[in-house]
């Protein structure tokens, strides 16, 4: 990758790692579904305005919008909601580490749901090592716990599984010719429309006191920086450096999220969580394959799902 590509990659990891920080700022004050609605609703407005200004096509047609609705549920509504709920129980750094298991689940989902993304020995090893990291991080007594800490970790894993399924579902949009930003707009708008009645009936945010300015700015950062701008940056990185190189962001998101959580939210990580993060990173490196190909030869590794 060029120096510009590396800069984009680092900035993207900061933006997506920052999403956990922004949620961590907002979740003590606002209900979780209200946070998610603010995120996808404002992001849809920003992405829609961007498409109009750039004269890019908006999604059209019932079948296309049906696919976008499913994408919005899998890639936005479910994972964003689960992370917002989870971060009421666990720290943003731990949530970001569990989010890094998405490619592990992606390998499994792609093997089950596609014919061209089958398991290889390297991928099996990578998945097993990564899940060993999850087990270490959650602790041997995790499933004997009954409090919110365990629930929060399981919610994060559920969000990662939803992202993985969305990755396979999103393959269908390649054949439509719809620009990636248009897909991002469609899924954010779909998630916002579906979530709005839930927020109105369950949380009634208009009855709450006006949040402090730093909470409002956190919502703006979550929607504009960590969603709208991050999508544009990610798709630009794929175009310039390829999907395989863009995969590297998975390794970096927990670093920025943990750093922000420790520096500004007073969070700490336990030694077992650091060890688990190391095993997850090792598993991802095996799935990615590039480091191992350099060590053992060009034909030994397995390429990740592009």
Is 301 inside any structural domain?
no
Question: Residues in the chain, how many?
Answer: 306
The whole-angstrom separation of Cα 141 and Cα 269 is 17
Q: What pTM was estimated for this model as a whole? A: 0.91
Continuous H helices in the chain: 3-26, 32-54, 62-72, 78-86, 92-99, 102-113, 121-138, 148-169, 180-202, 213-220, 230-241, 243-246, 249-264, 271-288, 290-296
Q: What is the pLDDT of residue 215?
A: 98
The whole-angstrom separation of Cα 141 and Cα 119 is 31
Q: What is the pLDDT of residue 297?
A: 62
Is 302 inside any structural domain?
no
Is 284 inside any structural domain?
yes
Each residue of 167-195: b (16+ CB within 10 Å) or e?
Answer: bbbbeebeeeebbbbbbbbbbbbbbbebb
Each residue of 254-293: b (16+ CB within 10 Å) or e?
Answer: bbbbbebbeeeeebebeeebeebbebbbbbbbbbbbeebb
Determine whether 66 is exposed, middle or buried from the number of CB atoms within 10 Å of its CB (0-12, 13-18, 19+): exposed
Is 303 inside any structural domain?
no
Is 305 inside any structural domain?
no
Tokens of 82: 């689960």
Q: What is the pLDDT of residue 305?
A: 38
Determine whether 201 is exposed, middle or buried from the number of CB atoms within 10 Å of its CB (0-12, 13-18, 19+): exposed
The domain tally of the chain equals: 1
Determine contact, residues 251/281, Cβ cutoff 8 Å. Answer: yes
Digitized pLDDT (tens) for each residue of the chain, 306 residues in all? 788 899 999 999 999 999 999 999 999 999 999 999 999 999 999 999 999 999 999 999 999 999 999 999 999 999 999 999 999 999 999 999 999 999 999 999 999 998 888 888 989 999 999 999 998 887 755 545 545 688 999 999 999 999 999 999 998 998 888 999 999 999 999 999 999 999 999 999 999 999 999 999 999 999 999 999 999 999 988 888 877 678 788 888 999 999 999 999 999 888 888 999 999 999 988 888 776 677 666 544 444 333
Q: What is the pLDDT of residue 194?
A: 98
The whole-angstrom separation of Cα 85 and Cα 183 is 26
Q: Dihedral of the CA atoms 159, 165, 166, 170 (nearest 10)?
A: 170
The whole-angstrom separation of Cα 64 and Cα 196 is 21
Structural domain boundaries enclosing 176: 3-296
């Amino acid at each position: 990758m060029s120096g510009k590509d590396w800069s984009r990659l680092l900035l993207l990891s900061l933006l997506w790692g920052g999403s956990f920080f922004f949620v961590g700022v907002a979740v003590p004050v606002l209900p979780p579904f209200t946070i998610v609605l603010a995120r996808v609703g404002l992001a849809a407005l920003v992405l829609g305005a961007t498409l109009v200004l750039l004269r890019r096509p908006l999604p059209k047609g019932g079948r296309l919008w049906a696919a976008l609705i499913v994408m919005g549920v899998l890639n936005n509504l479910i994972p964003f909601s689960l992370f917002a709920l989870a971060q009421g129980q666990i720290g943003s750094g731990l949530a970001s580490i569990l989010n890094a298991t998405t490619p592990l689940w992606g390998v499994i989902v792609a093997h089950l749901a596609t014919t061209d993304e089958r398991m290889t020995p390297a991928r099996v090893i990578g998945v097993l090592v990564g899940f060993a990291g999850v087990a270490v991080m959650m602790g041997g007594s995790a499933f004997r716990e009954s409090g919110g800490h365990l629930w929060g970790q399981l919610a994060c894993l559920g969000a990662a599984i939803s992202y993985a399924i969305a990755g396979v579902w999103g393959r269908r949009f390649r054949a439509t010719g719809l620009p990636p930003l248009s897909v991002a707009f469609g899924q954010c708008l779909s998630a916002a429309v579906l979530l709005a009645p839930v927020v109105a009936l369950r949380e009634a945010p208009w009855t709450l006191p006006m949040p402090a300015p730093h909470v409002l700015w956190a919502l703006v950062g979550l929607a504009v920086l960590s969603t709208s701008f991050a999508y544009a940056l990610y798709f630009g990185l794929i175009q310039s450096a390829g999907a395989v190189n863009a995969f590297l962001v998975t390794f970096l998101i927990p670093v920025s999220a943990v750093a922000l959580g420790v520096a500004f939210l007073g969070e700490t990580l336990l030694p077992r969580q650091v060890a688990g993060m190391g095993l997850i990173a090792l598993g991802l490196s095996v799935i990615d394959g590039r480091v191992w190909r350099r060590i053992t030869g060009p034909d030994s590794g397995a390429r990740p799902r592009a």
